[in-house]
Copies of this chain bind each other. A is one copy, B any other.
Amino acid sequence: MAAGDPVRVRTAVTRNDVARLAGVSTAVVSYVVNDGPRPVAEATAARVRDAIERLGYRPNTTARALAVGSTTTIGLVVPDSTNPFFAEYAWQIQRAATDLGYAVLISNTGFDPGVEERSVRDLCDRQIDGLLIAGVSGLRQIDELSRQGRRIPVVLIDEASSRRGHTTVGPDAATGAERVVAHLLHVHGHASVAMIIGDSADPATDGRERGWIGAHARAGRRLGVVERTPFSRQGGFEAGLRLLGRADRPTAVFVSSDSQAIGVLHAARELGVAVPDELAVGSFDDSEESRFCSPPLTTARQPARAMAEAAVAAVVHGGTTPEHLVFDMPLVVRRSCGCRTE
């Protein structure tokens, strides 16, 4: 290496190189790359394009982000992307975001509020343009974080009801739950149905619980027992064991998520109780897993794709006024309830 050589060994080609090669100013390069904001003579533009091509120039997104104040990146924080429903939801979100030119930074909290807060802080520091968060625990702090500096829009996904001051998207969980419980009650004639629900669900706001109660009320039945357990297969398994170990073992149960229901099915199998004959089960989510388990689950369907698209759109057009975007949950009947369909 000659004495006078610059230290920089091998750096990316920048708009300076392009400008030099094309014999124009850097401004012009910018104009042609972004097709604006000023017009460029066709001949000049062609020269620039040619230079870009020859040099293999790629604009530096980081630099652009700094200049324009937008990273075209959104943050996604979920409790557990391993849960089949969240896995699908996250996938649809990533997809929708990509379609709009956004990348997504994903973060798992594992249901830990401390982790949640750290994640959000980190994401905000990274100048994301918007935040999608599922199963918020520390909404207050998150608001604070997202508001310092350039206020970044946050939309609460997987939210059963509206939260003041926030745009939220979620299924009409109450109706969905009510549908499956009513199905168990009325078409299969159970006297009442038990419920297994996530221990992180807030009874006051959780639509599933309200729907379960509503179905019983409307039918004039006494509520079944309820078991609270983590939102996981293992959680469902343990709750299932408890439920099936009771003296007054229920004949039907509504489980608040597919992943828990999978656990319940497993518990029933271990204990030798037949589903649906001895225990009918209704579930919530309609993740792909619910179609393939044994027996396939009768469940209320969360339209993940539509919700994902709505959530991404809402956060990207971040100015919009707070609103609650609700999605209907169709009942999908399979065999875990006792039906012979499918």
Question: Footprint of B on A, CB under 8 Å?
Answer: 10-13, 56, 58-63, 65-66, 71, 73, 80-82, 84, 87-88, 90-91, 94-95, 98, 103-108, 119, 121-127, 148-151, 233, 237, 262-263, 265-266, 269, 288-289, 291-294
Contacts and interface: CB of A to CB of B under 8 A. Distances in A.
Given A62-B126, A265-B294, A88 B82 contact: yes
A281 to B, nearest CB: 13
Question: A62, A65, A262 — which one has the most chain B CB atoms within 10 A of its CB?
Answer: A62
B263 A127 contact: no
B125 A61 contact: yes
A120 to B, nearest CB: 12
Given A98-B107, A294-B269, A59 B288 contact: no
Contact of A12 (B56, B59, B103, B148): B148
Given A62-B66, A95-B108, A126-B62, A262 B292 contact: yes
A59 B98 CA distance: 27
Contacts of A269: 294
B56 A62 contact: no
Given A66-B66, A88-B82, A104 B103 contact: no
Given A62-B66, A125-B61, A149-B13, A108 B91 contact: yes
Contact of A126 (B61, B149, B263, B288): B61
A213 to B, nearest CB: 29
Contacts of A13: 148-149
B105 A288 contact: no
A81 B288 CA distance: 13
Nearest to A12: B149
A107 B76 CA distance: 13
Given A62-B65, A127-B61, A127-B62, A12 B292 contact: no
Nearest to A86: B87
A131 B98 CA distance: 18
A265 B121 CA distance: 44
A195 to B, nearest CB: 20
Question: A91, A127, A292 — which one has the most chain B CB atoms within 10 A of its CB?
Answer: A292
